[in-house]
Amino acid sequence: MNEEDPQGQPPLLVLGKIRAILECFAPEGPELTLPEIRQATGLPSSTCQRLVQNLVREGFLDRTGDAYRVGLALVRMAAPGLYGFDPVRRIQPFLDELRDSTGETACLYVRDGLYRSVVGLAETRHAVKRVVALGMVAPLHEGSAGRVFLAHDEDAWRDVLKQGPGPVTGHTIPDAEQFAEQRAAVRRRGHAVSFEGGDIGSVSVSAPVFGVHGRLVAVLGIVAPVQRLTSTDVPRTAALVVAAAGVASRAIGCPPALLPGLPAGAEREEAEAAQSRVEKDVSTARDSRQPSEQICAMGDAPSGATWGRVSHALFRAGRLHRVHAGTLLRRVGLYPGQEILLMLLWDEDHRAQADLIRALALDASTVTKMLQRLEQAGFITRSPSPTDRRASIVSLTDAGQALRDQVADLWHELEQDATTLLSEEETTAVTGMLNQIEEGLQQRLSGDRDTDGPPARTADSSGRRHASS
């Protein structure tokens, strides 16, 4: 079959060549000549010239003299892909796969100043594990994740040098000179390993995740007890972590040409094989899951869940909804629940703290902590009531008022994500059903129903519940 004849090629081969041409362009080299494109892609001269001409004709490339660059038409088409794009959600399947392939807890970290936070998590199924939670914060100079940030993020490196690292455990790198040596080693290997560098009894392995422009956007890794992950296990584990980070980078738009090289020697072979397995396993899982299986993607339902299917569905949906809400709200410096309190103040500012406690239907200590955090963040102020010195008045600051439109946009996005599989009629029906569930529970809690309650129910061997006679 003639390679030069597009009519005789399978479409996927043509698309692969077009993709190779488009991926030649980067922020560091936005304009290329035809010989440069041909050299970068390795395509035959006639094929390269014909495809480039067609791309110019369709507006996917623009030409000025002998130079080509990505066309504005393609930029316009690509723009909607960024709206509502959540890299954490996109990377979650690779965390799940890394957890399954290593047997250990997989984490995704982002940097916030001199600290790193856990924004994605797939917990190990082992009973013995290192405790990691979403939102957990640690200094940049501890652990393998911190070392990856310092190796690939120049701003983080400068900030830590100004601050001056301090030891966290006996295994934490204590000074700038050793930091510089470790930094070079991490960049060379493509990953970092830390034995008890941030937490006594733990070992971690981490690798960088790069974004659209080939810059570090996050760090992906695993955490395990030292008893279960020894130094002899590190090469294989590191290869799996590097592979998952590479696949995650490509999933959020990093061009393959901008990804750093894989480790050398045997680790490289393991990493290449692992990358292929991760991509295949995640793709197969996505294609083969039925809708009911996708709902249970965070873990299989226990057999006892059949005793209360609605309750278990509410529990699972509520958990996922809160996790996703937390991811969205982090963009504006809030945590789930804080935005509800702010909504009450946006409706009526300068409210008594006791009124907010009643409106939120939470215990006083929980609301007090919430107010303290919002006050520390500069979103509210608290002052004594002019009529009752025992009461506090909660007021919005200018920064708190400014959050209103941003939170409205985030809640609109959360609503769209939560109802993405529902029609308008189904959304209305589900809302009504949830209101009925809430009303029924309120009646039960307030004692409006008979105190004896409904007939006792027992379960047969199949898990079905039956009223006792």
Query: Are residues 153 and 280 located together in one domain of the fold?
Result: yes
444, 456 Cβ separation under 8 angstroms: no
pLDDT at 83: 54
Measured in whole angstroms, the distance separating CA 270 from the mean position of its chain's CA atoms is 26
Residue 324 resides in a domain: yes
Residue tagged 């102020």 (tokens): 381
CB neighbours of 97 closer than 8 A, spacing ≥ 6? 244, 278, 281, 282, 285
The CATH number of the domain holding residue 225 is: 3.30.450.40
Residue 100 resides in a domain: yes
Q: Which pTM does this prediction carry? A: 0.45
Sequential pLDDT tens for the chain (469 residues):
344 444 444 445 788 888 888 888 876 678 899 999 988 888 888 889 999 999 998 889 999 888 999 888 887 776 665 555 577 888 888 999 899 888 899 999 988 888 888 888 999 888 877 788 888 888 887 889 988 998 888 888 887 777 665 544 444 445 556 667 778 888 888 899 988 766 677 899 999 999 877 888 899 999 998 888 888 888 888 889 998 998 888 888 887 766 665 444 444 454 555 555 555 554 554 444 443 333 344 444 566 667 788 888 888 888 888 888 888 888 888 888 899 999 999 999 999 998 999 898 888 888 888 898 898 888 999 998 888 877 889 999 999 999 999 999 999 989 988 888 888 888 899 999 999 998 888 888 777 544 444 444 444 444 444 444 3
CA distance 410 to 416: 10
Alpha-carbon torsion 171, 172, 175, 176, what sign?
positive
Which residues on adjacent β-strands are paired with residue 458?
A: 466
Quick one: three-class SS letters along the chain? CCCCCHHHCCHHHHHHHHHHHHCCCECCECCEEHHHHHHHHCCCHHHHHHHHHHHHHCCCEEEECCEEEECHHHHHHHHHHHCCCCHHHHHHHHHHHHHHHHCCEEEEEEEECCEEEEEEEECCCCCCCCCCCCCCEEECCCHHHHHHHHHHCHHHHHHHHHHCCCCCCCCCCCCHHHHHHHHHHHHHHCCEEEECCCCCCEEEEEEEEECCCCCEEEEEEEEEECCCCCHHHHHHHHHHHHHHHHHHHHHCCCCHHHCCCCCCHHHHHHHHHHHHHHHHHHHHHHHHCCHHHHHCCCCCCCHHHHHHHHHHHHHHHHHHHHHHHHHHHHHHCCCCCHHHHHHHHHHCCCEEHHHHHHHHCCCHHHHHHHHHHHHHCCCEEEEECCCCCCCEEEEECHHHHHHHHHHHHHHHHHHHHHCCCCCHHHHHHHHHHHHHHHHHHHHHHHCCCCCCCCCCEEECCCCCEEECC
pLDDT at 221: 93
Query: Are residues 227 and 326 located together in one domain of the fold?
Result: no
443, 449 Cβ separation under 8 angstroms: yes
Task: Find the domain containing 31 and state its range.
Answer: 6-80
| Overall number of domains in the chain | 3
Residue 459 resides in a domain: no
Burial group, residue 97, by CB count within 10 angstroms (0-12, 13-18, 19+): buried
pLDDT at 265: 45
CA distance 270 to 80: 37
Query: Are residues 319 and 273 located together in one domain of the fold?
Result: no
CA distance 350 to 403: 17
Query: Are residues 258 and 350 located together in one domain of the fold?
Result: no
The CATH number of the domain holding residue 373 is: 1.10.10.10
Query: Are residues 120 and 76 located together in one domain of the fold?
Result: no
Residue 450 resides in a domain: no
Query: Are residues 67 and 138 located together in one domain of the fold?
Result: no
pLDDT at 344: 94
Query: Are residues 255 and 317 located together in one domain of the fold?
Result: no
Query: Are residues 217 and 98 located together in one domain of the fold?
Result: yes
Residue 392 resides in a domain: yes
Longest C-alpha distance within the chain, in Å?
A: 90
Query: Are residues 143 and 62 located together in one domain of the fold?
Result: no
